[in-house]
Copies of this chain bind each other. A is one copy, B any other.
């Protein structure tokens, strides 16, 4: 489990930091980026993120779900469990913020 770590009361009083905690993690921004195209299954994400291990992918997904940014959809097609992950409505409100981060990052790389 990665999940949101120890909410040290002293840490709470920096709003920017709480946001950063939710999306910091080596793969979280990339997962979130990929899901803009719509929901994706575990295997699809794994293929989309070369180098990630199944363990770390589960950890990150669990964290994003338990923080309420994503929701997990489980459907059974002919007795085959197919899980998919997608933004929650709440998670979608974060997209503009991620865009701001991304745009700044682009101009930063240009420097």
- Please list the residues of chain A having a beta carbon within 8 angstroms of any beta carbon in chain B: 10-12, 14-20, 22-24, 26, 29-30, 32-33, 50-51, 68, 90, 93-94, 96-98, 100-109, 111
Copies of the chain in the assembly: 2
Q: Shortest Cβ distance from A36 into chain B, in angstroms?
A: 12
Q: Which residues of B contact A23 (CB under 8 A)?
A: 16, 20
Give the docked Cα–Cα distance between A10 and B105 (Å).
15
- With A20-B29, A30-B17, A109-B15 in contact, is A93–B104 under 8 Å at CB? yes
Cα distance A18–B111 in the bound complex, in angstroms: 13
Q: A20-B20, A20-B23 are in contact. Are A15 and B97 (CB under 8 A)?
A: no
Q: A15-B105, A18-B109 are in contact. List 18 more A-B contacts (CB 8 A).
A: A10-B50, A11-B26, A14-B33, A15-B101, A15-B102, A15-B108, A16-B102, A16-B105, A17-B26, A17-B30, A18-B105, A19-B102, A22-B108, A93-B104, A94-B104, A97-B100, A97-B101, A101-B101
